[in-house]
Amino acid sequence: MLDGVRFIHTGDLHLGSPLKAVGEISERLKKSLIESSYTAIKNIVDAALNHNVDFILMCGDIYDNEARSVKGNRFLTDQMKLLNDKNIPVFIIYGNHDPIGKSIDFFDFPDNVKILGAETVEMCEITAKSGKIRARILGQSYGAPSESRKIHLNYRPPEDNFINIAMLHTGLDPGSNAYVPCSLEELKNQSGIHYWALGHIHSPEIINDNNPVIAYPGIPQGRDVGETGLKGCFLVQAESPDLIELEFIPTSPVIWLVHRLSIDSYTSLNNISDLADLLIEEGRRIIDTALEVPSSCPIIDNNFKPEGYVIRWEICGKGSIHDDLISGRESDVAEELEKMLNQHLSSMNPYLWTESIKLHTGSPIPDLELLLAKDEILKTLYTIKQKIRENADLKENAISTMGNIWYKPRGEDDLRDDTFPVTAEKFDSLLENAFNLAVERIFKEREDY
């Protein structure tokens, strides 16, 4: 029987990524946020030592840009030395954020670190003390921020029964001209590869669960509210080419959340204090709720507790509080609610910090089903809304009329500073809000008339 291997699959560390603004925070929270990406990497190294892994794979975007972070380079070097002391090799490929190019590492990595180059695919063997091969690792770094070559087609290990693991930084988009264009089927059909260790997408996902296993570990620590949920890495146990199992290791000390709360069912909201109490109660529930595993594999540590949460609230629904207290005062109400929530929840352990509050509440209206049954105008509006939601061509036309401030993202990594991504969830939310606003205005005009 072949000797199996146990390893950690990670990537997209983005060392040197700037701290995202979350308002005026305390020194404790500021330190937690600044150090969070470093703490996540330390958690990966600790997991490698605790689980006695054979090696670690880091699949691209180790740094946030081509100009290496001095602090990040020093920190990573020190962590690699801890692994070197235990004879744990680390294999690294660089991605679109940190291509090899003309970049310079400020500090020398220890001997256990192997950087796979950008000129051609490199292959490394994992051997037992006897010299017997246990597994092979293949990979190639980016030499520039854009890599349009189908480099995965050059991953050609010898034809035998040893476990072959391929490291690849790709968006898994065959139409891409920037991030190694390839499709899922191409990777599945590439002969001789048993595990595709991917990087680039920031959410953990097992794309294919059987020979070959194809997986993204995601980012170890979310950097902003666009990277929500528990983050971590994969612990992979490969017993043979046909028996590879994954477990999720949580690593993110700070968890970003977007939490949507409707006021529709709350009839006793008489003032802002009532709304604040509702949000504080919901915040405490979030802190006490067990974290969900963001992938289709089991979690190793079900009792993992983060240092804290950074949350964006989206308050929607209809109620009299909208007309009485919120309408026309959204900015002031949101500001005061943020202060009240942070006063009550930011000192808890774990803490919960409110990054912002978005108010999308509306005036109360009669039961929608009754309205649609007797009002032809509203029935027509509802039919149009449903057709746009369900018809891809109508949806595309609607997005094209929304203006240059919106764009349709090519993937999770397609984030832009001056515009906003129209995800499927965001479009549905905007469409629903537009319908509700139209209904409110129709009722208001009828009342005024």
Backbone phi, psi, residue 198, to 5°: -95, 160
**Is 258 in contact with 309 (CB distance < 8 Å)?**
no
CB atoms within 10 A of CB 170: 28
SS3 content of the chain, % helix, strand, coil (to 5): 35, 25, 45
The low-confidence residues of the chain, meaning pLDDT below 70, are: 1-2, 19, 21-24, 302, 365-369, 371, 404-405, 408-420, 440, 443-449
Tell me: the pLDDT tens digits for 74-133?
999 999 999 999 999 999 999 999 999 877 778 899 999 999 999 999 999 999 877 888
- Omega before 212 within 30 of 0, i.e. cis: yes
> HSE on the CB side for 168, CA within 13 Å?
28
| Residues written for the chain | 449
Q: Under a CB-based contact definition with an 8 Å cutoff, are residues 194 and 214 in contact?
A: no
- Cβ(166)–Cβ(150) under 8 Å? no
Mark 88-108 as b/e (b = at least 16 C-beta within 10 Å). bbbbbbbbbbbbbeeeeeeee
- Ordered strands of the 243-250 beta sheet: 113-115, 90-93, 55-59, 5-10, 232-240, 243-250
The domain segmentation of the chain, as residue ranges, is: 5-250, 253-364, 366-449
pLDDT at position 206, please? 94
* pLDDT of 449: 58
Q: State the DSSP string of 418-442.
A: SSEE--HHHHHHHHHHHHHHHHHHH
pLDDT digits (tens, 9 = 90+) for 182-196: 999 999 999 999 999
Say whether pTM exceeds 0.85: no
State the alpha helices, DSSP H only, in 293-403.
320-321, 330-345, 368-374, 376-390, 392-400
Locate 132 and state its tokens. 């017997």
- Please tell me the predicted confidence (pLDDT) of residue 310: 94
Helix (H) or strand (E) holding 82: helix 70-85
The CATH number of the structural domain formed by 5-250 is 3.60.21.10
**What local confidence, expressed as pLDDT, does residue 366 receive?**
64
Residue matched to tokens 């499709």 = 183
Contact 179, 169 (CB under 8 A): yes
Write out the two tokens for 304: 């993992």
Give the pLDDT of residue 350.
93
Rounded distance between C-alpha atoms, residue 71 and residue 215, angstroms = 29
Cβ of 3: how many Cβ atoms within 10 Å? 17
